[in-house]
Structure 1
Amino acid sequence: MKIKTFLLSVFIIFLFNNCKNNQDDSVKANYLDFSKRDDQFTGGIKMIPISTPVGKFKVWTKTVGNNPTIKVLLLHGGPGLTHECFESFDGYFPNQSIEYIYYDQLGSYYSDQPNDNRLWTNERFVEEVEQVRKALKLDNTNFYLLGQSWGGILAMEYALKYQKNLKGLIISNMMASAPEYNKYAEEVLGPQLPPEVFNQIKTFEKNKDYTNPKYTELLFKYYYTEHILRKPLNEWPESINRAFKHINSNVYVFMQGPSEFGITGNATLKNWDIKSKLKTLTVPTLTIGAKYDTMDPEHMKWIANEVQNGRFLFCSNGSHLSQYDDQKNYFSGVIQFLRDVDSGDFKK
């Protein structure tokens, strides 16, 4: 009897693995087949109509690949930056047959750019993401949301309202509290700069002299290359330089403020804090923190423990753009998370 039970178990395992391998092979074979898609003519690009309280606009999306159970919508940072911050994903996701969608939020370079500050609210952006989801026919059998920096704020806010639509949530390099981010920037990161540099930067900010070329030079030379992307400026990827060139400064300053040491002035995100709400999230969640990030990696670890089904990924060599300066840790961790959730093997 024991032998029969053992043989039956082996047979079941064999069938399961064989079916899984056949499914994986089928996904890989069809990954780059656009022939049955309505966006073949445009190479995956769709301009999606968006309704807002002040009118109708269009936002730009581009889908890469086909995978019926893993579709990752990418929410870029800023606010007001572009999908170009994610172009390094081209080097990793296709090889794993992961479908992913580039997306420029309203106000960003490839989408419509209305000049109306009433549009730049968390609530309005959440409804925009929901409209994009519906247009792309994403649902909780396949829909993963990955938000980086400001995109992480948007991803958390979306999940708090619409987690029933999600299969998985990835919060990349973003804390759940603007006041705590401000404190970390002021008390931890700032003092790590050479004292004379930090004092000069603070003087520029005190005088609201944010457009001074010297202020920008100091930030890029001493702060950005340590905490945004840990490479010399002449080695920064062209995609990142392009994203900075395309930034919508009006949206950025209105929501984030002009300073890089926290969210300052009258910026709308200045007092944003959703820490007390995180425990209501049940969707499988990956949080990503980095050793040299502008965001406190310990806070990111805390978020992973605060949500009900969280996992923390630490990028030991990375900064704010870990998808560029710590790709080994970043992509292996993200891909593993997607695979684990997709297979039903996700564990905290």
Structure 2
Amino acid sequence: MSAYPTIEGDVPFAAPNSGRPCSTWYKVVGDLEKSIPLIALHGGPGAGHEYLASFTDLIDQYHVPIVFYDQIGCGRSTHLRDKMRDESFWTFDLFIAELDNLIDHLQLRSKGFYLLGQSWGGMLAGMYAARRPEGLKKLVIAGSPASFPLFVEGGKRLRAQLPADIQKILEEGDRTGNLETPEYERASAIFYARHVCRVDPLPQPVQQAFINLKDDPTAYNTMQGPSEIVVDGSLKDWDGSEQAKNINVDTLLLNGRYDEVSELCVEPWFRSIPRIKWVVFENSSHMAHWEERERFMQLVGTFLTSY
């Protein structure tokens, strides 16, 4: 990223009921003065910005500057480990307030901005766009469920395609809650290699996302649960398809053919958002921005810069 103009900073953020001063770390790569920027919303929650590093391809090819940031609770932003399983704290409203705060700090309202959310970040981006915020020009939702019950159902179908011995290990771990045995971790790794990222070895920035989640799983455990496979957090009953009907900007919807976020839980976005195009990456799972990087950037870049 160092080949481009880069600004890093911390924005004070008054997180409701946090009981302490908080801040959001951000990095702008590229020239904000020259073009409308893309704000990248990472997944998790808690995965951090690093695994979205490939988005800087858009600067060279399409002259789109990128705003990266670590959402509260991870990376270089304020951590709140004492809020584990505090479902009243870790909410969409919290993360939407943080995003609004960052946009205002960077003075992007009049200039305008694009949003791209990946995984959990796409859920957040969708719910933010549904409020019709001032300045939002276009929206990209990548590998994001519109419905968590459908995400769980799709996950069950994917697990049913795994070898029988792997299924048995995963089921036993789910039943006992013991998810840290070597057997369970090995079985999970097989699921992840099929349905999270099919690049081998994993790109270092993607590895960093898993490091971030292990370092501070507070938001992830509270909202999702202990793993991608075991979902018992506050999002388990969430469905955003009704709110998505309020999205009034052009939207690009993306997922991979082998994505843990299967067509089953992506389709409600397509059904609900009025102006939307849906593209499935045939050789990708959950991270097409690495698995089919060139095509991903071409689709996103063309979408953002064509009017």
TM-score by length of 1: 0.80
Aligned 1:284-299 pairs, distance under 5 A? 284-297=250-263, 299=265
Confirm whether residue 171 of structure 1 aligns to residue 141 of structure 2: yes
When Rg is computed on C-alpha atoms for both structures, the one with the higher figure is 1
Q: Is the 8 A contact 1:149 1:174 kept in 2?
A: yes
Q: Deviations over 1:246-295 (max 9, x none)?
A: 2221221111101322522xx11111111122222111111111101001
1:211 is displaced (CA, Å) by 1.9
From the two aligned structures, give the one with the greater helix fraction: 1
1:301 is displaced (CA, Å) by 4.7
1:192 is displaced (CA, Å) by 1.1
1:334 is displaced (CA, Å) by 0.6
Q: Is the 8 A contact 2:57 2:297 kept in 1?
A: no
- Alignment gaps of 5+ in structure 2: none
Query: What is the aligned partner in structure 2 of residue 63 from structure 1?
Result: 28
1:302 is displaced (CA, Å) by 4.6
CA distance in structure 1 between the partners assigned to 2:150 and 2:293 by the alignment? 27
Q: How many residues align?
A: 296
TM-score by length of 2: 0.91
Out of 204, 209, 215, which is 2:178 matched to?
209
- Alignment gaps of 5+ in structure 1: 1-30, 35-42
Out of 151, 176, 179, which is 2:121 matched to?
151
Aligned 1:1-348 pairs, distance under 5 A? 32=4, 43-53=6-16, 54=18, 55-67=20-32, 68-117=34-83, 118=86, 119-139=89-109, 141-186=111-156, 188-220=157-189, 222-232=190-200, 235-247=201-213, 248-261=216-229, 263-264=231-232, 267-297=233-263, 299-340=265-306, 344=307
Q: Is the 8 A contact 2:24 2:71 kept in 1?
A: yes
| Percentage identity across paired residues of the two chains | 29
The AA in structure 1 aligned to 2:14 is S
SS of the aligned residue for 2:25 comes to strand
By relative contact order (CA 8 Å, sep 6+), the higher-ranking structure is 2
Q: Is the 8 A contact 1:70 1:338 kept in 2?
A: no
1:240 is displaced (CA, Å) by 1.2
1:208 is displaced (CA, Å) by 0.3
